[in-house]
Amino acid sequence: MKTLKVLSGIALVAMLASFAPIGGDGFTLRVNNKLVIEHYFTSKAVTPHVSLGVFSSKDAVSISYSECGTVGKNRKLALKDQAGNVLKEWKFSDTDGLNSGMVIPGSEIMAFKKTDRKTFTITYTSQVVSTGRLLAELVLENEAQVTSKK
C-alpha cells in the first residue's frame, strides 16, 4: 500500500511538472501593471508581437526578465528600429530580486513613433545574456490600445 502511494505521488509530480516550463529564461511585459505577455524561450518559441497605443505621461511599460530563475546583473533594454539600429537604451541597477521589474515610461517609447516608422523591437542584455535577447516586436499605434499576439 505504501509503495502505491509513493508511485502515485511520483506520477502526480511528473504530470504537474510537464505543464510548467522548468529552467530557462523568460519574461513578462506589463503595461500599467496589466500583464500583456508572459513568454518563455524554448526551441519552438515565436517572438511575441505587441500593439501599443498612445501613452499618457503616467503610463509605463514594465519588463521582468528571469535568467533561469535569477535576476541578471548589468541589465539593459534597447529599443531598435527594423534595421537593428539602437534608438534608445535604458540601463537598470542591480537588484536582489525583490524589485526586478525594469520600468520604462510609455512616453519615451511613443516618442519614436513616426508615420514612416512604427514597428520596433525591444532587446534585453545583461552580464550573462551579453549578445542580447530579442523580447518582442512593438507596433506603435495611433489610438490608445494594448494588444498582444503570441
Across 58-67, average pLDDT: 92
pLDDT tier for residue 7 given thresholds of 50, 70 and 90: very low
Closest CA to 64 of 139, 137, 126, 146: 126
Q: For 124-147, write each residue's pLDDT tens digit.
A: 999 999 999 999 999 988 755 555
Region of poorest pLDDT, from 48-62, 71-85, 104-118: 104-118
Q: For 94-108, write each residue's pLDDT tens digit.
A: 877 666 789 999 889
Q: What pTM value is reported for the model?
A: 0.76
Dihedral sign for Cα atoms in the order 123, 110, 27, 39: negative
The half-sphere exposure of 92 on its side-chain side, counting CA atoms within 13 A, is 25
pLDDT tier for residue 17 given thresholds of 50, 70 and 90: very low
Please give the domain boundaries of the chain with CATH numbers for all domains. Answer: 22-149 (2.60.40.10)
Is residue 117 a contact partner of residue 5, using CB atoms and an 8 Å limit?
no
